[in-house]
Amino acid sequence: FSVEMQPILHKVAGKNELGAFIGWHSAPENDPRRLTPYLAIRLDKTGGFFHVEGIYQTKPQKEGEGGVGGRISLGQLALTRPGPWHALRIRAVGKQVTITADDGDPLEFDLPKLRAQKQIFENLNPRGALGVWTNGDAMFRNAQIVALPAEK
């Protein structure tokens, strides 16, 4: 999965965040309190990074209640291109997830090791939903999804 993104900057803190996600799943009906982790990559244009985070949540037990959740920082990727547009590439093959920003060095995650190090990622499966997100104004272009065969 690859995409280029650009925030439309406003001077309002916490607005115009944008990024991509991979591995989102809803909790199974027979186990609604099960943690459903996924990976989120958030562009921080001002700081000069993509922040890579593990997000986890549960469904609320009752209608109208919030679920339980949180986030864990898994690393940062420096923005290496000048200008307003930044490229993000996410590759999930076999038991590896590789995330690259612009033309920089990738962050690589070995899923069995990540699951062993952080219990909340026990159910992490990058073969879930993927996409882009924003809570304000942003532009996305050149999005591509390519199905890769599993490694044997």
Which residues, 6+ apart, have CB-to-CB distance to 60 below 8 Å? 66, 67
37 near 53, Cβ under 8 Å? no
Q: Please name which of 116, 114, 85, 118 lies closest in space to residue 102, comparing C-alpha atoms.
A: 85
Per-residue pLDDT of the chain (152 residues; tens, 9 = 90+): 999 999 886 656 666 789 999 998 877 777 666 678 899 999 998 899 999 999 887 666 666 666 667 889 999 999 999 999 999 999 999 899 999 999 999 999 999 999 899 888 888 888 888 999 998 888 999 999 988 776 65
